[in-house]
Amino acid sequence: MKSAKKVTLIAMVGVSVVMSPGVHAASVPDEKVATLRQAPINVEPTPPAMQRVSNTDIKQVRNYPMQPPVIPHKIDGYQLDLKVNKCMSCHARKRTGESQAPMVSVTHYMDRENNFLATLSPRRYFCTQCHVPQLEAKLLVENDFVDMDHLIAPKTKAEH
């Protein structure tokens, strides 16, 4: 939390430094200012090449138990609006026999009072709010995520 505040402070200082000509970049190097644009405001930068969507159809391991499972296939052109939910034409309970796709979790048939509904709960309707396909891409920023099993492991070892 403290470091986050520090970063914002540095960023703000950076912005003010940029805005006042002459003093530019003496204290904060450009690459330290977080931005996705990486180009002057009046220049249209060439976008990076489109990344390939992973289309293996093989279930991915969840990083933590409550993680919404990621989509292991392309969803290009799958209509998902008030008229149609294309995802459900495979993942709905009744469709799984034919499609052999995993059924959406039972929680998706529950309203927020935990009553079971016959169809998808409206609050769960828009699949891509939580479930997303994955890219075969290099990470933009370093990821130091540690699986909780790794956190637990040394402790249990010490106890035994």
Partner 1 sequence: MIAKLHASLKKVWAVLRKPSVHYSLGFLTIGGFVAGVIFWGGFNTVLEATNQEAFCISCHEMENNVYEELKTTIHFTNRSGVRATCPDCHVPHNWTDKIARKMQASKEVWGKIFGTINTREKFEGKRRELAEHEWERLKANDSLECRNCHNFDYMDFTRQSPRAAQMHSTSLASGEKTCIDCHKGIAHHLPDMRGVQGF
- Which residues sit at the interface with partner 1, rule CB under 8 A? 55-57, 73-74, 76-77, 79, 83-84, 86, 88-89, 95, 99-101
55-58: long-range contacts, CB 8 A cutoff, minimum separation 24 = none
| Residue nearer to partner 1 on the CB measure, 76 or 159 | 76
Tokens, residue 59: 């279930």
Least distance between partner 1 and beta carbon 37 (Å): 26
Q: Which residue has the tokens 């509904």?
A: 117
Rounded Cα gap, residues 98 and 113, in angstroms: 31
Q: Which residue lies nearer to partner 1 by CB, 16 or 79? A: 79
The minimum distance between CB 91 and partner 1, in angstroms, equals 12
Q: Which is nearer to partner 1, 99 or 128 (CB)?
A: 99
CB 71 within 8 A of CB 132: yes
CB of 61 to partner 1, least distance (A): 18
Which residue is listed with tokens 């026999």? 97
CB of 50 to partner 1, least distance (A): 11
Nearer to partner 1, 11 or 80 (CB): 80
